[in-house]
Structure 1
């Protein structure tokens, strides 16, 4: 199901009050105006913890990218550690004291960052690197002068669904067969200067596919069937890999899942932690899941600057398009006022976005139109700061990574 219409209208009232009060106070509301609703953010964080049961939630920072919000999520009971998306980001978060438990989600060949890691015993003790090939170990060794600082390693194991000779899921690790995983694990264990501490199995075809989409009943049924098949196959594979690794190493962590699969992933006894991030902000790609109630928490506003006709309004900018396979689902969605739609010809543009629909005729020059981004985290690459909304007031203004001069 999608977000509640009642909650949507209430959000519109709260945003209008906050904007009016900020303007009355003489605050600069430069656009795109980025806003996070803390009430929804906190409720979503608590819901992720509830869905995970007694399994800790590791925060996927790629889906947040605002240090103050990363800290806020980690302050919730049930969250533990960060799943970072680059080693440089992990090093920065550690240096800032955000957390001393960082798992880098993707293999790194960033030699400068790796050199910083192996030169710092404190960073090396806090940060775990991801590998799926011995080549990744070679890159680490190429930048260090001694083996005095051991490097923590986790192995990324393919978690896709294999059916009928096809692979369904993210194209990540080449390691599928248990023998391949054990072979790499043995190389890590036997290689000086490395410690094998964990495994990752990210089932993106379960965690990242909506399965309750309006007017797509047949497709949703297929997706739910695919998810069930994936969960069953993956539970068996995880157990097989875990049993095969047990005589070789005592693992500290087994990371898996995402916001769309928290319950199913946490139910697997092999998994020690679930990853989640998008569920905190709920972008439009996460609106239609059976597993949780969507509470959108991130928005951006741009002003109406033209009225080309009585039934059209054009806003300045708006083209904050999400990554992934190009399609309409990657476009931002006009959210408030209600009754607005992108046009088929222009879509969402870099410098202007025309809007149509029954709500367009009521807009005046200078009015703000609120949008939702399709993906979580990417929104904050488009601004230097974020207003934090609590109730009907902006209670803080915090910097994004971009605002801090960081580009990870």
Structure 2
């Protein structure tokens, strides 16, 4: 934090910051661990300039996984290519724009897991006399009956369901299988919690690590069978899997040709509790202390940047200084945030530095990331919001 004092002394609070040294270390970590090409998850970054920076630094970049059709169009207009839409889309006008770009030679793949999605792509592609490349999203979550371990997204959780979908492809001549994705969310997106302090969270961590270990066999067997089935009817350009929390495991899988990574570059607070990751906090925000309630309780302006997902204390921002803690009955507030300073060393007017629980969501709050390298201010970088873009 001391290195920020000089670099950011002229910046009005609140502001979002990016530490280039930490970002570079995280990119180096991914480069060292990923033995297969890396596709960058744009939702975890949400800044065109930072996306391009990471792309240049990666040893082998497969392209980008985007989160909406409108975002994909914008990124193409900014010079990016090799886009995999990570989620199905039903926005007809945007689909047609993307297909027009694809017809001109851009590499664009649409995600599907249902016939309704293919029908729309067929109609749009036929109207433009072109072909829509699709990636079939299989569900490799683990259903233990007593607990569903993974994500409830794609319904394609069996070979029969997958076959039912692929058997219909003959009715859609303008849709072509291009890829398969099997995302092991229960490994890549769930913290291990082996170093947490509370007894309740430690017990949860023991269960999570056990479930992860038991999931491995099902993930491997089903994804390989699914990929083999699709390969029997179509040549695949790539098979995508993984995420920041499962880089080594996913890269070791024979059927996988590329891995998606996003959060590892910024290292948000939720990724502090992954046993396999050694990352440095690269992005966060700074708030001004504007009040002192008592000797240990201070108030800063702003701070209510709560992450999406299941409601819980792990969705709140965290302080870089571990001696500062949010109040359990107030949390991070919309316009002001009270907190405890165990050292009682703060004073009104000081700055406190925090990190968001998730990676790219902070960029929806700030137009600019103020960048530092060491103690030097490197200037501002626009986020999507700063570029006047809002996709979700």
Hey, what does 1:50 align to over in structure 2?
32
Hey, what does 1:367 align to over in structure 2?
350
Shift of 1:166: 4.9
Q: 1:237 to 1:372 in 2, by over 3 A?
A: same
Q: What CA distance in whole angstroms lies between the structure 2 residues aligned with 1:263 and 1:171?
A: 24
Q: What CA distance in whole angstroms lies between the structure 2 residues aligned with 1:251 and 1:188?
A: 15
Hey, what does 2:242 align to over in structure 1?
257
Shift of 1:119: 3.1
Shift of 1:67: 1.0
Shift of 1:218: 3.4
Hey, what does 2:176 align to over in structure 1?
195
Of 159-168 and 255-264, the range deviating more from structure 2: 159-168
Shift of 1:345: 1.8
The counterpart of 1:40, out of the listed 17, 22, 33, is 22
Q: What CA distance in whole angstroms lies between the structure 2 residues aligned with 1:165 and 1:36?
A: 42
Of 118-127 and 131-140, the range deviating more from structure 2: 118-127
State the Cα deviation string for residues 312-359 of structure 1 (Å, max 9, x = none).
1100001100001111110111223x4111112211001000111313
Hey, what does 1:334 align to over in structure 2?
319
Hey, what does 2:390 align to over in structure 1?
407
> Any unmatched runs of 5+ in structure 2?
none
Question: What is the RMSD of the two structures over their aligned residues, measured on CA atoms?
Answer: 1.7
Q: What CA distance in whole angstroms lies between the structure 1 residues aligned with 2:271 and 2:147?
A: 26
Q: 1:123 to 1:402 in 2, by over 3 A?
A: farther
The counterpart of 2:272, out of the listed 284, 287, 308, is 287
Hey, what does 2:139 align to over in structure 1?
158
SS of 2:279's partner is coil
Shift of 1:259: 0.2
Q: What CA distance in whole angstroms lies between the structure 1 residues aligned with 2:224 and 2:170?
A: 20
Shift of 1:50: 1.6
State the Cα deviation string for residues 260-311 of structure 1 (Å, max 9, x = none).
0011111110011111110011111100111121311111001011112222
TM (norm. structure 2) is 0.94
Hey, what does 2:2 align to over in structure 1?
13
Q: 1:81 to 1:177 in 2, by over 3 A?
A: same
Hey, what does 1:87 align to over in structure 2?
69
The counterpart of 1:351, out of the listed 335, 345, 351, is 335
Hey, what does 2:219 align to over in structure 1?
234
Of 87-96 and 297-306, the range deviating more from structure 2: 87-96
Q: 1:141 to 1:200 in 2, by over 3 A?
A: same
Shift of 1:163: 2.4
Asked if structure 1 preserves the Cα contact closer than 8 Å seen for 2:118 and 2:172, the reply is no
SS of 2:291's partner is strand
The counterpart of 1:210, out of the listed 181, 191, 198, is 191
> Any unmatched runs of 5+ in structure 1?
1-11, 24-28
Of 235-244 and 207-216, the range deviating more from structure 2: 207-216
SS of 1:93's partner is helix
1:309 aligns with 2:294: yes
State the Cα deviation string for residues 346-381 of structure 1 (Å, max 9, x = none).
11001000111313x322222111011000100110
1:276 aligns with 2:261: yes
Q: What CA distance in whole angstroms lies between the structure 1 residues aligned with 2:170 and 2:210?
A: 38
Question: How many residue pairs were aligned?
Answer: 386
TM (norm. structure 1) is 0.91
Q: 1:379 to 1:400 in 2, by over 3 A?
A: same
State the Cα deviation string for residues 11-30 of structure 1 (Å, max 9, x = none).
x121112123xx2xxxxx23
Q: What CA distance in whole angstroms lies between the structure 2 residues aligned with 1:285 and 1:123?
A: 40
1:115 aligns with 2:96: yes
